Structures are given as structure tokens and as C-alpha cells.
Structure 1
Amino acid sequence: MGQPANLKKQARERMERTGENYTTARKNILTGKPESPKAARAAQARDYAKEARDAKAGIKPKAPKPAAAPAPQDELPEYPAPEDVIQYDAALWHRVLVQAGVTNPVTEAPLSQALLAGLAGGIGFMVFTFEYEETTTATLVTRAHPEPYTQNLLARCGAKVTERTTGSAARAVEYMDAALDAGRTVAVRVAINALPWIDGNEVDEAETIDLVVVGDHEDDLLVDDGSGVLNVISQEDLAFARAKRKKEKHWLAWVPSSRSPKAETLATNALVAIEETTSRLLGTRELSGIPDHFAKNFGITGMRTFAARLRDTTTKTGWSQMFADQERLAGGMTQLSGFLSDTRFGGEGALRGLYADFLDEAAGLPGLSALGEHSADYLQLAQLWDEFAELVDPEVTVENRSAMFAQMADAMERIAEVEEQAATALAATAKSLASQAS
């Protein structure tokens, strides 16, 4: 085969455009292979490799550019770096929707993390303790639960969202490539303990998380895991982590259209979400998939159950007895403190401040101005929850545990009282607004 005199120059120019290595670029020129959209994405993403390698240094990534292949809608905005993450999943989908160009029809600004969190179900309460041979766990969830948080968010945000599940790893890659080729980022669901940058021994094998694939780097992928940097993961490692999720195997979702939702749709969905949130807290809604004997651990009833067990110093279900061993006490309080500061199942102010922001933003939707009157209640609750979190001391001694638990019980009883008042008032307003709209 004849070779052009400037083959080396052409190969290097192609390397710059596509991110291919020299050998591949040279071979593809000689065989006349066109430059693929996937190769073009690799070129756009390669600048972020160093940032991903320097993740531990806390270096924030630059926003990657949209794919080189023409998108079916208008030019897409760049993918935003994770900032001010209060609730992980709502913040993740905020970034996906920003990249897709979807906006709030009232403000013409992006659908905010607060609005998405509220539509997903907002806030809730669940507490569980389990005693094992060597440890006692303390799980506290202040996010909406047990309803499917992300699925509710996607169904209610009003954007067009394409979801796929498949038992075929090859088909899963095809779906992802098609979305990336169209200039869209792709959310995937993975087993956390299978991610290369996670210590699998520290994470339950059943625990999952959603990541966003934002582009290619050479033969690997760049993913957003909410850490503030883009991590590099191989195609094989991502496929393995996705396959370990037996339910919804190889699930992925993307936003194929920049079409914004209608304001009336968002208003209707906000009222649906508020009814779900308040009825779950007040105990007037049946909890899907939860046995009746566990219901006492959910909502405001769960808060009062929790306070009673904190105050109980004599029975085996009281926390003083459950955490009578120093090692169990330290482990349980560390875990409890983690749930209160975590951004997936809890967070700052138990996410009540974020819910106040949701009510303020939802008040701007057609016919929902009255919702803004309730945001102050949830700002007060955010402060009460932060004060509760400050009482939890992972270094408390066994001798002082009952005194600490008594203080926590007092705080939790106050929280339950204010939560009930706030949810009752909000539920009445939402019901009235829904009647007026029908």
C-alpha cells in the first residue's frame, strides 16, 4: 500500500483531534477509517485525565465540552462541576439536566437541586438498629423513604427521560454509546463496592449508587461520582460494577431532549410529591414494601419510638442496653453521626432546609404561592436537627452514654412535635390547592 509523504504529520494531527494513539491513528489513515464520534469524545475528554488522577488532592475538574457529534437539539451547555451538594441524587440529576439544557419554565434557570429533591419526595424519617456478633448498627434516614427516590424525581421533573435495563452487557454499551454520541451524559447504577476507587470491604455488597458517564478518555470512561472531580474507569470495570446490580441490571438513563417541562405539570407534580411526603411523615399513607411491625420506625411515629428507646435504660431494646459495650457504642455513634452528615440518606439539617428551599421555589409555580408560607417551619426544623446532630458524640464513654441519650431524647421529642405541626399545616394547604386546581 502506498503511503503519503506526510503520513506522520497527518497521524499526529489526527491524534490531536481524536485522542487515538499514534499507531491507531496511522493505521486508520491508511485504511481510510473515518473519525468516529466516540474518538472525538475521547479528544474532548483527555484534558480531564490529570484532574481525575489528582482527585485525592481535591482538584476540581474543568467542565467537559459537549460531544463533537451534532446533538439533536440546540447546542448543549457544558457539564457542570459538582458544587454545593446537599442531596446526592438530586444534585447529580441537576447536573445532568443542566447539561441537557432543560430549564424551569417559570424562571428559565436550571431545575434546582431543591426543586428536584422535593419532587423526589423530599424528607422523611426511618431509624433501625441491628445487633450482630461483633457490632451494633444504627441507621438513620432523613430523606424520603421507602418510595423510589430517583424514579419519582425522573417521573415528576417533567423532562423527557429515556431509561433502559437489559441483561446484555453488550446491549448496555450500545445504549450508552448512542446517548453519548448524541451529546448526552448517561446515568448508570452500580454496586458501590465494585468501584475501583472504593474499598469494597468497607461497603455492603448490596449498596448501590448512581454515577454519570460524561465522556471518554482514550479507551476508558470519565464518570461523575459527586466527589468534585471526574474519575477514570475502564469500560470493563464499569460493566462489572453495573452487572453486580442484579435488580434493574445494567440500568441507565439519559435526557434525549432539551425540552423544558410545562409550568402546570411541575405544579401538579409538586402537589403530588407534597401529599406523599406529608402523609408518610404523619403515618396516613401505607408504606410500600414495609411490614406492619416495622411501621413504628418510620415518620413522626418513628421519631417518638426513637426518643423512647433513647430514654429507656432498662430493657434490651433501649439504647443504653444495646450500646452498653464501649466498642459497640463508638461504632454505633460514628455510624449515626455519619448518617446525619451524609448527602445520600441524610444531610445538613436533615434536609429540612433544602425542603424549605423547595417550598419557596414551588411557590413560584402557577397557583402554588401559598406554599411559601410553610418554608419557615422547615427552616426551624433544620436548626433543630442540626442541634440534635451536635449531641451525638462518637467519643462518649459508656459511663456517660445514658446522659447523652437522654439529651438526644429531649431533642427528638421536640423535633417530633414541630414536624407534626409543620406536616399537618402543609398537608392542609396542599389539599386546598389541589382542590382549587381540579
Structure 2
Amino acid sequence: MTEHRDLKRLVRERMARTGESYSTARRHVTARQPQRSAHRESALVARLLSDAGQLAPHTGEPFTEAMVCGLAGGIGFLYAVFEYKGLPPLVTLVAQHHPDPWAPAALRRAGVAFTEAHSGSPAPATTALRRDLDAGRTVLCTIARGRLPWHPDDPFDADPYPVLVTAGTGDDIMVDDGTGTPRTLPLETFVTAWSAHRKGRHHRLVVTGERTGDPAVRDAIATTVAHLTGPVLGNAFDVNFGLSGLERFASQLRDERTKTGWARRFADPDALAAGLRRVHDCVERELTAPGATRPLYAEFLDEAATIVDLPPAAADAYREAGDRWHRLASAALTASHMRETALSRLADLADDVLAAERTAAGVIAEV
């Protein structure tokens, strides 16, 4: 009830400020993101575009989550295992395109102008945020996730976490955390979360409402292919990216001899259980859409085919890859209960994924 009263107050204040009808003002304050949110960051950018009145030129409708995802680079792969004293090895798989910042990449290729800024201290950042909100603009901000009151605080969670600030009045703001339903939050609490992400330095991004061109679908696909099949950072860590990283993942699952193989690295049953849970979560929900983002990328390719010529098999190839990722993730959930065969079985499934990924990358490389 409190959130409902706050929402009505924000709507009426916007009506007084802009002269809009109640329904129009409410739409701006609580503008809904796409109905199904498979990928959190893409859904946020889709709503950011919608709030700014930006429509996809090829449909005349709001940008879909799938199109935003594909324009940002869509898919990728990163495999790494981090080891800290006194803790079990931490498995990290990143199945979405990485490491380009998601929103700027998507907006540039969408052909939409935006401004991006940082501030070293909270005061000027808060002033700029209030100015944008007073002008009716939705602002994308990068924060520390664990400082939001509805998330657990994790000292090891240093990943940037974007949210949308959709409206504000007095000492409160409305924050969309990717659910499509903004929550009322004290501005002071938000600024604490904003300041806690030190690398972000009060990062904020606003769509200016100007168009710079049409969606750069070919450039997006070319970047995806390049980072799946070739260097990403230009240094020795590149072995962990793309198809090379996926091959490394499968090889280490099967390795029973060296210290980097899973048999030795995860010899402790609890460590193995934690590692396998991470595999599942990284394929289905952490920094990804379900199925390692491949099903959503297939939707992007379906839509992109209405803009540029694409091989007919492109989307189907990534649907198949997504199915194989689902099978691997499902097997990882139960694998710790049958250790003797678990790693070999997972290695076989990873090889199946690798084969599908090579085929799919070869298809879109023709674009």
C-alpha cells in the first residue's frame, strides 16, 4: 500500500509539472519494460529506449529485448576459475557478450544518441540525477547490487549492476531493478549504493532523444563472431574467451591428472557441489539469459532477418546451441551426487555444446 500511495503521489506531481493527463503521467512514471524479461540488462535498455520515446525504425514499435540483446553483442563466452585462500574455487562462466559495457554498445548500434557521465563525489552526481528526473528523463545508473535493501550484501560481488531511476520527488526515487515494477527507495539509500560501486564513480546514462542512424545489425553480428572466434582483449587471457574458452572448459572437466583439472581442483565434495551449482547458475541466470543467452540471440536473428539478409539456418543453429546448454546446466545440478561419472558426463555435454557453437558461429560468419 505504501508503494501504491507513493506512486500516486509521483504521478500527480508529474501531472502538475508537465500538464499531462493522469494516464500519460502514470505511463511515464511506471513505464513497463517488455512483458517477458529473459535478460535483465537488455530489458533495462529496452525500457530506457521506450521511456525516451525511441521506436525501432524497422517495426515502428518499441525495441524488443531480443533486438537490444543482439545489438549489444548478444552472446559470448568466458571461462575462469578463481582461487582464494580459505575458500573453494570460484567458477565463472559469462555467456553473454563480454566485456564491452552493455548499454552503450546497444544504444550506439541502435542508432540512438545518449550522454554518459561520472562524478567523483555524490553531490554533483545527485544534482545531475535530480535535474534529469525533473526533466522527465529515465536515468540508467550503475550501483553496488548488495547495497540495495532487497539484495544480500556480498563483499565479493564487484560486478557493475545497472538499474533505472524512473522518477523522483522529495527524498524518494523510483528504482527499476529489472522487474518492470519500480520500487520506492529513499534517495539517501540509493546514493549509498551508487557510491559503493567505486569503479562506476556514480555512472549515469541518459538517452537524449536524438537518432543517429538505423540499427547496425551487421556490425553487431560481426563483433559477436570476432569475439567468439578470435582475440577479445589482445593478451594472454584471451585463451579463456569464445570457442577457445569453451574448449578449455571441456578439457579441464575431463582432466584427471593436472592441478587445473576438475578432478583435482574440486576434489573436496563440497567444493565440487559449489562449482557445479555455479555452472548451472552461470548458464541459466547469472550475467545471462536462460540457455547461455542462445535462445534469446536466436530471437534477435529472427528479427534481424527482417532488416538484413541472413542465412536461413542462423537462428535455428543458436536454438540448437541453447538446447545443448540447457542440457549441460541441468546435468550440472545433479552431477555432484554421482561423482564417479559426473565430470566425464559433463565433459561430453560440453563437447556437444562446443560442436553446436562452432556450427552456429560458422553460419553467422557468412553475414
1:21-420 paired onto structure 2 within 5 Å: 49-50=3-4, 67-68=14-15, 69-70=17-18, 77-78=27-28, 79-80=31-32, 83-132=35-84, 133-200=86-153, 202-216=154-168, 219-257=171-209, 259=210, 262=213, 265-266=214-215, 269-283=216-230, 286-288=231-233, 291-292=235-236, 294-342=237-285, 344-365=286-307, 368-393=308-333, 396-397=336-337, 400-420=338-358
Code of the aligned partner of 1:282: T
Distance of 1:371 and 1:217 partners within structure 2: 50
Q: Is the 8 A contact 1:163 1:252 kept in 2?
A: yes
Distance of 2:332 and 2:83 partners within structure 1: 19
CA gap of 1:252–1:95, structure 2 versus 1, over 3 A, is same
Code of the aligned partner of 1:198: H
Deviations 1:156-199 (A, max 9, x none): 12122122212232221222122112212111111122222222
Code of the aligned partner of 2:201: K
CA gap of 1:153–1:277, structure 2 versus 1, over 3 A, is same
Q: Is the 8 A contact 2:240 2:246 kept in 1?
A: yes
User: How far apart are 1:279 and its partner, in Å?
Assistant: 1.2
CA gap of 1:372–1:108, structure 2 versus 1, over 3 A, is farther
CA gap of 1:103–1:241, structure 2 versus 1, over 3 A, is same
Gaps spanning 5+ residues in structure 2: where?
A: none
Q: Is the 8 A contact 1:121 1:276 kept in 2?
A: yes
CA gap of 1:205–1:370, structure 2 versus 1, over 3 A, is closer
Q: TM-score, normalised by structure 1?
A: 0.75
CA RMSD of aligned residues (A): 2.6
Aligned counterpart, 1:33: none
Gaps spanning 5+ residues in structure 1: where?
A: 1-46, 53-60, 431-438
Aligned counterpart, 1:7: none
User: How far apart are 1:260 and its partner, in Å?
Assistant: 5.4
Q: Is the 8 A contact 1:82 1:227 kept in 2?
A: no
Q: Is the 8 A contact 1:70 1:182 kept in 2?
A: no
Deviations 1:24-79 (A, max 9, x none): xxxxxxxxxxxxxxxxxxxxxxx771599xxxxxxxx99x859333399xx78541
Question: Structure 1 vs Structure 2: percent identity of aligned residues?
Answer: 31
Secondary structure of 2:79's counterpart equals strand
Distance of 1:256 and 1:175 partners within structure 2: 14
Tell me the matched-pair count. 357
Which has the greater radius of gyration?
A: 1
Deviations 1:204-260 (A, max 9, x none): 252320111112365211100013542232222211221222234111112232x55
Distance of 2:157 and 2:171 partners within structure 1: 27
User: How far apart are 1:274 and its partner, in Å?
Assistant: 0.8
Distance of 1:373 and 1:100 partners within structure 2: 35
User: How far apart are 1:314 and its partner, in Å?
Assistant: 2.2
CA gap of 1:383–1:126, structure 2 versus 1, over 3 A, is same
Distance of 1:234 and 1:296 partners within structure 2: 44
Distance of 2:2 and 2:70 partners within structure 1: 33
Code of the aligned partner of 1:281: L
